[in-house]
């Protein structure tokens, strides 16, 4: 496994972890929005780890994941701004 493939797997795992953090963020510590933002960044970073030989349909899927990553980052900013 190449190093960029390993990084892609790590980014995928962070995206899954981010989904769980978004669901249970109210019962977690106050620094959870920061972790959620990091998982959003992982979604954006994964877009740049695409193998050049990847077919077009999967490229669109990676692009959708990056767009969701941007939305997750914005959600994290909103959670920080509205924190008590």
Structure letter (DSSP) for residue 9 = H
Q: How far is it, in rounded angstroms, from Cα 47 to Cα 75?
A: 19
Q: How far is it, in rounded angstroms, from Cα 34 to Cα 77?
A: 8
What distances in angstroms separate CA 54 from CA 5, 16, 24, 63, 73, one per listed residue? Answer: 13, 22, 34, 12, 26
Q: Convert the pLDDT of each residue in 26-68 to its tens digit.
A: 777 888 888 889 999 998 998 888 877 888 888 898 899 899 9
3-class DSSP assignment, residue 54: coil
Q: What is the pTM of this model?
A: 0.83
Q: Is the pLDDT of residue 4 over 80?
A: no
The residues near 83 (Cβ < 8 Å, ≥ 6 apart) are 30, 33
């Amino acid at each position: 496994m190449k190093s960029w493939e390993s990084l892609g797997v790590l980014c995928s795992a962070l995206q899954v972890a981010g989904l769980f953090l978004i669901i249970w963020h109210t019962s977690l510590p106050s620094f959870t929005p920061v972790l959620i933002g990091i998982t959003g960044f992982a979604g954006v970073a994964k877009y740049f780890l695409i193998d050049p030989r990847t077919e077009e349909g999967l490229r669109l899927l990676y692009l959708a994941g990056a767009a969701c990553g941007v939305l997750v980052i914005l959600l994290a900013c909103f959670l920080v701004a509205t924190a008590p």
